[in-house]
Structure 1
Amino acid sequence: MPMITIADEVTGAPKGPEWTLEVFEESVRLDELIRRRTFLEIAESGADVDPQERTRVALDAFRRNGFVVLVDDRQVTALDEKVRLNAGSRVTFLKLVPLVGG
Structure 2
Amino acid sequence: MPTVTISDEKLGSGSSASSKMTISFLDESMTVRELIKERIYQEVAEYNLSITQETKQPTLLITPNRDEQRLNAGSDNSRKKKPKPQPVDWLQQYDTACDAFERNGFFIVIGEKQVSDLDEVVSLTANTDVSFVKLTPLIGG
Calculate the TM-score normalised by the size of structure 1. Answer: 0.91
* Cα deviation, residue 18, structure 1: 0.7
Higher share of residues assigned strand: 1
**Which range moves more in the overlay, 71-80 or 91-100?**
91-100
In structure 1, stretches of 5+ residues that fail to align are none
* Cα deviation, residue 14, structure 1: 2.9
Where in structure 1 do 4 or more consecutive aligned residues deviate above 4 Å? none
Q: Deviations over 1:37-71 (max 9, x none)?
A: 11111111225111110000000101110000000
2:42 paired residue number: 40
Provide the rounded CA distance (Å) in 2 between the counterparts of 1:9 and 1:19: 12
* Cα deviation, residue 81, structure 1: 0.1
Report % sequence identity: 42
Q: Which has the higher contact order (CA 8 A, sep 6+)?
A: 1
Provide the rounded CA distance (Å) in 1 between the counterparts of 2:118 and 2:33: 5
2:121 paired residue number: 82
Provide the rounded CA distance (Å) in 2 between the counterparts of 1:73 and 1:44: 28
2:132 paired residue number: 93
* Cα deviation, residue 101, structure 1: 3.5
Calculate the TM-score normalised by the size of structure 2. Answer: 0.68
The root-mean-square deviation of aligned C-alpha atoms, in Å, is: 1.3
Q: What is the total number of aligned residue pairs between the two structures?
A: 102
Q: Deviations over 1:56-97 (max 9, x none)?
A: 000010111000000012100000000111112111100012
Work out whether 1:25 is the aligned partner of 2:27.
yes
Pick the aligned partner of 2:96 from 46, 54, 57.
57
- Counterpart secondary structure, 2:45: helix
